[in-house]
Structure 1
Amino acid sequence: MRRAVVLFGVLVGVLGALLGFRILKDRRAAEGPPGGSGVVEGTVVDVRARLNARVMARHVEEGARVDKGALLVTLDCTEPEANLAETEARLAMARAQADAAKAAALAAGRSSEAVTSQAAGSQAQIASLADQQGLAKRQAERLRQMGGATTEAALDQAQAQAASLEQQLEAARHASTAATRQARAATEQVRSSEQQAEAAVRAIEAAEAMLRRARVSVAECELRAPMAGSVETLALEPGELALPGAVVARLVDTRRPKATFYLPNAELAAAHPGQPATVRADAYPDRTFAARVVTVAREAAFTPRNVQTRSDRDRLVYPIEVHIEAPDGLLLPGMPVDISLGAPEGAAVAEQRP
């Protein structure tokens, strides 16, 4: 019985000591600088496929460090390459058609100039024949008025010459009408040829746009790293089908780790962007890392429905994001850390220790 009482007393003493230690720890934490707990995060980028194609090869493994632009995965490019070749052929054909249309427009322009000149020449010929025909008619009339003073043969010759010039004048007028119509047709042909040449130029522009699109599709057959970082996951194996928008690889950049912790409403005034902070990680108990507050949320998280009492207001918490100054790869994503506002003691020395 006495032994049980002793054991009970020892147990009560141990529990009292633990409780006192916990209360002292909580009191010190309450009296210390504002802060909280968070998890280290890195900059995560998902590399997604834009094509519906099979994975041909993976050029890296999960966990590998890659530089920006490094080749990660190659997709089957048979169809995009065939489309690229077809587009290049269409562009060459469009350029040839444009050259032919330009040549046709040039030839139509020259033909129009020739026909226009011919029509102008016909008008000049009509004027000349009209003058000659008028002169011949007057000559025949004078001979007829002379009566016996002239021979009948001379009168017949003058009348025949006037009739011939009349026929030539009528033929010239018909030829001039035909030439004028040909000139109009040639002008329309020139306009049509110019429109065809313009359409051929637009066809070249459309083919060039299709060519750029085809080249983009071919470039998408090689998925490259958009930034330097670590390959966290490779979602597909060679032979598997990558769908448009599907995540093929995930990269994590740990060069600038960050973490988010929450401050209660009563301590929010102590936080502001640009403020120094101290980070401690369980993996490095003897080391502190300098950090800096980046954002202070303007809206509370975990807000009760009705904030009426002081205890309710104390339950309001605001997310605070900090960027941590740590060597690349030292603080890994997912590591739990404790964050407190204010610069660490001896931060300049602590940051240089290996």
Structure 2
Amino acid sequence: MKLTRSSAAGGVAVVLVVGLLAGGLWLSFRPKPLLLEGEIEATEIDVAAKVPGRVATLEVKLGQKVEAGALLFTLESPELLAKLVQARGAQDVAGAQRRKADTGARQEEIRAAEQQWHRAQAAAELADSTLGRVDRLFRDGVVPRQRRDEAEAQAKAARAAAASAKAMHEMALAGAREEDRAAAAGVAAQAGGAVSEVEAYLAETQLKAPRAGEVSSLLLDAGEIAPAGFPVLSLVDLNDSWVVFQIREDLLAGIGIGTELTGRVPALGNHEVTFKVDYLAALGAFATWRATSTSAGFDLKTFEVRARPVTPTPGLRPGMSVIVPWKR
């Protein structure tokens, strides 16, 4: 009887040991759950001016929230101010020339031209009378032909001078030609465009926020030179954020545009957020070598997957991690 009990106890012990070994082996070799780890990104805007200048003032601080249209910083540009003075001076000259062309001759000039015409007309009439008298004397044989030819030439010259003076008077009455007025108008428009151009550049010395956001970085301080196109500060739009995953292609089964993923955000106390995939593309620079046998292998592409929160999530910021459990 004692031997039977001892044998039974030994059998139970053997079963327990075998069970523990089997359980340990199962725990060791069972498939581990796959976790997709992504990082939150958001739209970031570098704010730069089109013109170079010295940073005069910074109107915002790092981390400050700003609304669209808020003044961010100002630049100093004495060169642009000098160009504006020059452009406005050229505009004044062009405007005066256009007014002169449109108005025509002054009344004093018109009257002077009229007097010149009358004087030339009187001289022509006198020359014609003189020619008539000299011609009669020539026919009577009193004066030689030379004298008669001289009188005729003087009469022709006087009539031409009268015609010229009349034309000058009519031109003064008519004013500038249409082509001259058009040319003057074109010069005035060109000068006005130059002023508008310089004013537009000057407006670029007062930089305002293109959209609402948070100041994420300040790259220059007041007093430093800002080259054209170089960002002075950056804004981040926390309302336009997404999570980025880099997933090997053999793990993409079940992920496509419109797929919803639920992940936890450790930085928000493991708060669960639902994301919807809206972008998927291969990353050509990334590949993972995967062996298919002891003698060969192939490259697996890595895909960038982006997903946006289905509902707004307060506190979500760029750089936060997102952990998504995923089944193979």
Q: Please give the TM-score of this superposition, normalised by the length of structure 2.
A: 0.68
**Aligned with 2:224 (options 240, 256, 276):** 240
Q: Hey, what's the Cα distance between the residues in 1 that align with 2:51 and 2:255?
A: 46
Structure 1 match to 2:181: 197
Q: Hey, what's the Cα distance between the residues in 2 that align with 1:322 and 1:263?
A: 13
**Aligned with 2:264 (options 252, 261, 280):** 280
1:18-38 superposed Cα distances (whole Å, 9 cap, x missing partner) = 993785433xx3xxxxx7221
Aligned residues between the structures: 296
Q: RMSD across aligned C-alpha pairs, in angstroms?
A: 5.0
Q: Please give the TM-score of this superposition, normalised by the length of structure 1.
A: 0.63
- Aligned pairs (5 A) from 1:38-77: 38-77=38-77
Gaps of 5+ in 1: 1-12, 30-34, 142-154, 156-165, 343-354
* Contact 1:48-1:245 at 8 Å conserved across structures: yes
* Contact 1:73-1:222 at 8 Å conserved across structures: yes
Q: Hey, what's the Cα distance between the residues in 2 that align with 1:264 and 1:215?
A: 53
- For the pair 1:312 / 2:298, whether they are aligned, the reply is yes
**Change beyond 3 A, Cα 1:304–1:20:** closer
**Change beyond 3 A, Cα 1:307–1:21:** closer
Structure 1 match to 2:316: 331
* Contact 1:254-1:329 at 8 Å conserved across structures: no
**Change beyond 3 A, Cα 1:187–1:324:** farther
Structure 1 match to 2:11: none
User: Tell me, what secondary structure is at the counterpart of 1:257?
Assistant: strand
Q: Hey, what's the Cα distance between the residues in 2 that align with 1:79 and 1:298?
A: 49
**Change beyond 3 A, Cα 1:38–1:72:** same
* Contact 2:46-2:231 at 8 Å conserved across structures: yes
Shift of 1:85: 3.6
Q: Hey, what's the Cα distance between the residues in 1 that align with 2:290 and 2:105?
A: 81
* Contact 2:95-2:188 at 8 Å conserved across structures: yes
Deviates more, 1:228-237 or 1:272-281: 272-281
* Contact 1:301-1:319 at 8 Å conserved across structures: no
Shift of 1:251: 0.6
1:84-127 superposed Cα distances (whole Å, 9 cap, x missing partner) = 344233322321121123334798xx89x989x99xx99xx9xx
* Contact 1:257-1:325 at 8 Å conserved across structures: no
Structure 1 match to 2:213: 229
**Change beyond 3 A, Cα 1:172–1:327:** same
1:179-218 superposed Cα distances (whole Å, 9 cap, x missing partner) = 4556778899989865543333222222212111211222
Structure 2 match to 1:177: 160
Q: Hey, what's the Cα distance between the residues in 1 that align with 2:324 and 2:90?
A: 63
Shift of 1:77: 4.3
Which residue type is aligned with residue 271 of structure 1?
I
Structure 2 match to 1:348: none
**Change beyond 3 A, Cα 1:276–1:97:** same
**Change beyond 3 A, Cα 1:19–1:256:** farther
**Change beyond 3 A, Cα 1:316–1:84:** same
Shift of 1:43: 0.3
Which residue type is aligned with residue 240 of structure 2?
R
Structure number with the higher helix fraction is 1
Q: Hey, what's the Cα distance between the residues in 1 that align with 2:326 and 2:276?
A: 9
1:12-68 superposed Cα distances (whole Å, 9 cap, x missing partner) = x9xx96993785433xx3xxxxx7221110101101133332222211110011111
**Change beyond 3 A, Cα 1:22–1:41:** farther
Shift of 1:293: 1.4
Q: Hey, what's the Cα distance between the residues in 2 that align with 1:287 and 1:18?
A: 34
User: Tell me, what secondary structure is at the counterpart of 1:68?
Assistant: coil
Q: Hey, what's the Cα distance between the residues in 2 that align with 1:258 and 1:62?
A: 23
Deviates more, 1:297-306 or 1:274-283: 297-306
Structure 2 match to 1:297: 281
* Contact 1:65-1:231 at 8 Å conserved across structures: yes
1:280-309 superposed Cα distances (whole Å, 9 cap, x missing partner) = 211235532122212111565523699998
Structure number with the higher strand fraction is 2
- Aligned pairs (5 A) from 1:2-13: none
Q: Hey, what's the Cα distance between the residues in 1 that align with 2:319 and 2:25?
A: 30
Deviates more, 1:94-103 or 1:279-288: 279-288
Structure 2 match to 1:10: none
- For the pair 1:258 / 2:265, whether they are aligned, the reply is no
Shift of 1:329: 5.0
Structure 1 match to 2:92: 92
* Contact 2:288-2:302 at 8 Å conserved across structures: no
Q: Hey, what's the Cα distance between the residues in 2 that align with 1:281 and 1:311?
A: 36
User: Tell me, what secondary structure is at the counterpart of 2:182?
Assistant: helix
Gaps of 5+ in 2: 1-19, 141-148
Structure 2 match to 1:149: none
